[in-house]
Amino acid sequence: MAEHPEAAPHTHEKREHWSGQTAFILAAIGSAVGLGNIWRFPGQAYEHGGGAFMIPYLVALVTAGVPILFLENAIGHRFRGSAPLAMKRVHRNAEGVGWLHVAICFVIGLYYTAIIAWAVSYFFFSFGQSYADDPAGFFTGEYLELGEAGTVSLSFVPQVLIPLAAVWVVTIVILALGIHRGVERLNIIGIPVLVATFLVIVVRALFLDGAADGVAALFTPDFEALTDPQVWIAAYGQIFFSLSLAYGIMITYASYRRRRSNITAPGMVVAFGNSSFELLAGIGVFATLGFLAHQQGTTVAGLDNLAGPFLSFVTFPAVIAEMPGGAFFGALFFGSLVLAGLTSLVSVLQVISAALQDKFGLHPRGGAVAVGLVSAVLSIIGFGTTTGLYLLDTVDQWSNQLGIVAGAITMIAAALWFGRRGHELERHLAAVSTMRPGRYWLWLVNAVALLLIYMFAEKAVSLVQDGYGGYPGWYLAVFGWGTAAFLLAVALLMPLLRWRRDIERFHAWPSREQLALPAEVGERHTEDYDPREGRT
């Protein structure tokens, strides 16, 4: 079998694989379902028209979520590489787009770990209910020992630092075990446990006094909101961030699928699975908020902190304190935060590890340890101190709201506008999948790119003009715009380094000929050698 390309040394066929389709689907859902599903979606829906929000939300899911998910899956599956490698194969000058994804994942991994560490602490606090008397004071005072906003402190907080270090150790071990034995096993066990746990939480919450009022507050429609463009942008933003699009995660995860794999139909399961969990979480969160309002003799509208970290670490502890059997409920809630967070964190770090493996020829274990150690040290310095919460808030704005949108726009531009791969990717999906992407797919991807350009510009202008969160200008310049500068620097500089692996010996399958496309001209090697067809 000497003519078989897999037998040749240094080819890229020796890639790790998922054990099967179900394992991939669970891992992709595990990545998509994260903290944002629990604390971002319910608040977004509540603020943007309640039940009426579900209309733009569903439109966004079908017109943006699914098409971009297909695009990332197609890029990763056809070009079989980490984000930088796959993007380089999409267009020879697009490697930096992949590194932009990697840099975003690096930054997000640093602070996402901190939130999981808080949830680990709160899981244990639940048994003793140490947060019960004064949840807000406990979170910012006793637990985080929060310093002054807009300052940087190197005064470490042991009760944050220890779980943070522990989360890093667990994560590095999972990544080092590789795709099959680490990432896959975490999700095969973790996702069913997460869903079952959350079902218990939601059913329990629905039987609390005031639960119906809470759920009504979430779903009562304000149809006027549908005429407000900001509501539609919020819906597209929610779908986009929630599905973990444009982090390079789906490119990376799809590259571990076998070539002869169904891509689109499992993608639909991932997209609807993510939204299904989000809806479940919304019902659970608002039923619980209804109970809290009932206990405090007010309405849901009269409560504070209905979204973000404060929903989880201040509002929920207040509920748990007032609930019969609160310790058990609290442990389940914070346990599910840890699980939802961990399955997402691992996917984010896998993007970086995969990129380092491809670029520098590292073994999975080497890639995992390299990423893990550097990240762990930076994460502990930045977020294990008394000012970690402010840094998290600021870095999140720039990396998430600006960086990811830029990552999506550049990905679409490289694949469709400069690389002219649209029809190739469309036919690739149709050739390997049980469901065709459809004639509107490319049209939708292009339209989403225009919307994203608008969202990026709007956010950038707002951050320049108004700053963010009331932090001082120097602080935002260093940590906000500094984050943006870091992302840009990685995207521009990493492509200058040499690939330590032979990445040229690569043949996309199905070949362009099999997809009834004209052969490519130029230096690419896709078409000149395809022994599977017996023409060497």
Partner 1 sequence: MNADALVLMLVSIVLIWGGLVASIAYVARRPENDHMPDGGEDTRVPD
Binding site for partner 1 (CB under 8 A): 6, 13-17, 21, 25, 50-52, 54, 58, 180, 212-213, 215-216, 218-221, 258-262, 265-266, 268-269, 271-273, 275-276, 279, 283, 431-435, 509-511, 514-515, 530, 532-533
Please, which residue, 134 or 228, has the CB nearer to partner 1? 228
Please, which residue, 161 or 218, has the CB nearer to partner 1? 218
In whole angstroms, the minimum distance from the beta carbon of 46 to partner 1 comes to 12
- Is 74 exposed, middle or buried (CB count within 10 Å of its CB: 0-12, 13-18, 19+)? buried
Take residue 231 and report the two structure tokens written for it. 């509501």
Please, which residue, 265 or 485, has the CB nearer to partner 1? 265
Neighbour tally for 517: CB within 10 Å:
16
In whole angstroms, the minimum distance from the beta carbon of 250 to partner 1 comes to 16
Q: What are φ and ψ of residue 417, in 5° steps?
A: -90, -45
Contact 506, 526 (CB under 8 A): yes
3-state secondary structure of 503: coil
In whole angstroms, the minimum distance from the beta carbon of 218 to partner 1 comes to 8
In whole angstroms, the minimum distance from the beta carbon of 219 to partner 1 comes to 4
Q: Which of 494, 464, 493 is nearest to 476 (CA)?
A: 464
Residues forming beta bridges with residue 535, ordered by sequence position? 530
Please, which residue, 95 or 530, has the CB nearer to partner 1? 530
In whole angstroms, the minimum distance from the beta carbon of 419 to partner 1 comes to 22
In whole angstroms, the minimum distance from the beta carbon of 340 to partner 1 comes to 17
Give the list of residues 6+ apart from residue 273 with CB closer than 8 angstroms, or none: 25, 29, 32, 33
Q: How far is CA 248 from CA 72, 348, 414, 451, 477, in A?
A: 8, 8, 14, 20, 27
In whole angstroms, the minimum distance from the beta carbon of 50 to partner 1 comes to 7
In whole angstroms, the minimum distance from the beta carbon of 183 to partner 1 comes to 13
In whole angstroms, the minimum distance from the beta carbon of 52 to partner 1 comes to 7
In whole angstroms, the minimum distance from the beta carbon of 222 to partner 1 comes to 10
Give the list of residues 6+ apart from residue 257 with CB closer than 8 angstroms, or none: 17, 18, 24, 76, 77, 263
Please, which residue, 7 or 193, has the CB nearer to partner 1? 7
Please, which residue, 275 or 312, has the CB nearer to partner 1? 275
Please, which residue, 146 or 431, has the CB nearer to partner 1? 431
- Cα separation, 190 vs 113, whole angstroms: 17
Contact 244, 32 (CB under 8 A): yes
3-state secondary structure of 535: strand
3-state secondary structure of 265: helix
Please, which residue, 76 or 510, has the CB nearer to partner 1? 510
What is the Cα 19 distance to its own chain's centre? Answer: 22
Please, which residue, 321 or 515, has the CB nearer to partner 1? 515
Kindly report the length of the chain.
Answer: 536
Q: How far is CA 200 from CA 26, 44, 337, in A?
A: 20, 24, 14
- Cα separation, 462 vs 456, whole angstroms: 10
In whole angstroms, the minimum distance from the beta carbon of 189 to partner 1 comes to 19
- Is 222 exposed, middle or buried (CB count within 10 Å of its CB: 0-12, 13-18, 19+)? middle
DSSP state at residue 526: T
Please, which residue, 96 or 214, has the CB nearer to partner 1? 214
Please, which residue, 80 or 459, has the CB nearer to partner 1? 80
